[in-house]
Amino acid sequence: MSKRKRLVLISVLAILLVISLLYWITSNNPGSFPDKEELIKEINHIFPEANVKEIKDTIELDEKHVFVPFISEENKYGVSHWVWKRSDWDLASVNTGGEPRSWRIEDGDSSTTYLVWNIAPQTPIEKLKFYLIKERTFRITEGVEYYDPGVQLEEIVELSDTSYGVIPLPDKWSSILASYTKLETARQPDVFSNSFNIENYMYFGWMAYDRSGKVLPPDHSLFGSGFTGGEEHIEHIRFLDELEIETVD
């Protein structure tokens, strides 16, 4: 190969390297988040049923995940979840209801889970109780009896003047989820190595209370319609009945 050809080849490779580097930088470093008007336009374009009138806030969970509560023209309190990917901010999920949900922003890492909600101030709800629950189980395998104790952890949230809220999963909850995953994977490695899903064994729940501490039934204004992208771990949290909670006398 002549010297001229080598120089041309080196130049082309250098240009490709610079382009690749610039693409990597722009893809992995989020740009500025859209303003409220842009958010309204994008949500209503992608999911017209949302009919967003007002963006209440933009809450950054990390540099690539943002929670955006809103109010619709019909005065419904809804939620949207935004993720930076492929060099742009994508609407990963939207729902016209503001019931509590969990959002795990990193696959397989329960410590990156957040509980989010947007509850209309007109409702009588003054307090939320969140639960991490695992039912106790008993089984006999090859003549050997196994007993797994149940788990019930509680986190109380007093609603403030704002309709919406975000809290990280309590450290104790994350620790228990991680420990149980590790235990079950070690106990039955062939079964769990490729398909273990902690949500099949433990689940989140919630209950609502009024000012006097009375348990409230489901408020249908909290539930709506929408969509969630398949890549994001955004889940509804189970609404619990009083009888499902164990109390200590």
pLDDT at 40: 98
Report d(CA 138, CA 145) in Å as an integer.
7
pLDDT at 197: 61
Report d(CA 164, CA 176) in Å as an integer.
27
The alpha carbon dihedral of 114, 115, 118, 121 has a sign of negative
Within 8 A by CB and 6+ apart from 133, the residues are: 150, 151, 152, 153, 202, 203, 204, 205, 244
pLDDT at 71: 97
CA distances from 144 to 82, 135, 140 (A): 49, 20, 5
Report d(CA 70, CA 40) in Å as an integer.
9
Asked whether the beta carbons of 58 and 74 are under 8 A apart, the reply is: no
- Phi-psi category of residue 238: left, alpha or beta, with phi > 0 → left and psi -120 to 50 → alpha: beta
Q: How many residues are listed for the chain in this entry? A: 249
Asked whether the beta carbons of 77 and 163 are under 8 A apart, the reply is: yes
Report d(CA 147, CA 70) in Å as an integer.
46
**pLDDT tens sequence across 194-243:** 555 666 678 999 999 999 999 999 888 899 999 987 778 999 999 999 88
- Reported as half-sphere exposure (CB side, CA atoms, 13 A), residue 18 has a value of 6
Helix and strand element counts for the chain (H, E): 4, 17
Average pLDDT over the chain, rounded to whole? 85
DSSP E strand boundaries for 26-95: 52-55, 59-62, 65-72, 77-85, 88-95
Closest CA to 166 of 60, 73, 90, 238: 60
Residues of the chain with pLDDT under 70: 1-28, 187-200, 248-249
> From the centroid of its chain, how far is CA 95?
13
